[in-house]
Amino acid sequence: MNRQPPNDEELHAYVDGRLEPARHAEILAWLQANPAQQARIEDWMRDTRNLRAAWAGNETPATGAMLPDLGSTRRRLVARRRQRLGMVAACALTLCVGTGLGWQLRAGAEPEHLPMADAVSAYRLFAAGGVPLEFNAGDQGRLEGWLRGHFGTAADVPDLTAQGYRLQGGRLLSTAEGAAAMLVYETETGRRIGLYVRPMPSRTLPAGERRDGQLLAQYWSRGSVAFALVGPEDSIRTQPLFPLLGGAG
């Protein structure tokens, strides 16, 4: 008798190796017959490997209270696409105790580094993945104060209401280059974009853009600050936000 297709809970259990052997074999056969679902599960497996590797490489050992559950963390990394061959945007996620930085995100160094890969990872986690924002829209004053303290007036919080986007809040991060932030904006229909801000690395960052699955990242720099506007490609293309935010020229 044929079983029903697996739900997400069973698929997460499959990834974590928590299924009975018979059901594991059934789901394996179902995945082999459904290439799109198989690619999705491979993404989940890669996310799990990356998270484990990132935590294993942390300088400070994570305690049980600091280490999030892999399954619940992986659930937040929705819409994860298969990375280009040989390129994985790995991020180390830990809870920062007693500081205002909250979650820390560190982009792994790659031999062929994709521009602003950390911005795309931050968007997936905080704008699309359901992880709570540290600042809500009512905390805009505090958020602006933090940004100005780290980046000066180059990183004021933009007002995008005229373009149909309202600030939902922000999350403070730590990257290899220093303190960073992801600002999340949303339309009335729930479409989200993110504005990512961090210090410039030693190398220059010419203005440009790149696609990552269905996401588009447009990036530029101003002085010693790097910016990236990230979101679904159709949302980014519909409104001329890139030049409005200073990305043109």
pLDDT in tens, 144-169: 888 888 888 777 888 999 999 999 99
**Would you say residue 31 lies in a domain?**
no
Measure CA 193 to chain center: 11
The CATH number covering residue 229 comes to: 3.30.200.100
Domain span holding position 101: 62-244
Length of the chain: 249
Asked, for residue 2, whether it belongs to a domain, the answer is no
Asked if 173 contacts 131 with a C-beta cutoff of 8 angstroms, the reply is no
In a domain, 50, yes or no: no
Q: Answer yes or no: is 30 within a domain.
A: no
Q: What is the mean pLDDT of residues 10-25?
A: 82
Counting the structural domains of the chain, the total is 1
pLDDT band at 184 (very low <50, low <70, confident <90, very high): very high
Residue 145 lies in a domain: yes
CB 179 within 8 A of CB 102: no
Looking at residue 3, its pLDDT comes to: 65
**Domain membership flag for residue 224:** yes
Output DSSP code: residue 195: E
**Residue 52 counted as domain residue:** no
48 domain residue, yes or no: no
Look at residue 125 in the predicted model and tell me its pLDDT. Answer: 86
Confidence label for 68 from pLDDT (cuts 50, 70 and 90): very low
pLDDT at 51: 59
Does residue 206 surpass a pLDDT of 60?
A: yes
Q: What is the pLDDT of residues 75-132, one digit of tens each?
A: 554 433 333 322 333 333 333 323 333 434 444 434 346 788 889 988 998 888 777 8
Distance of alpha carbon 159 from alpha carbon 51, whole angstroms:
34
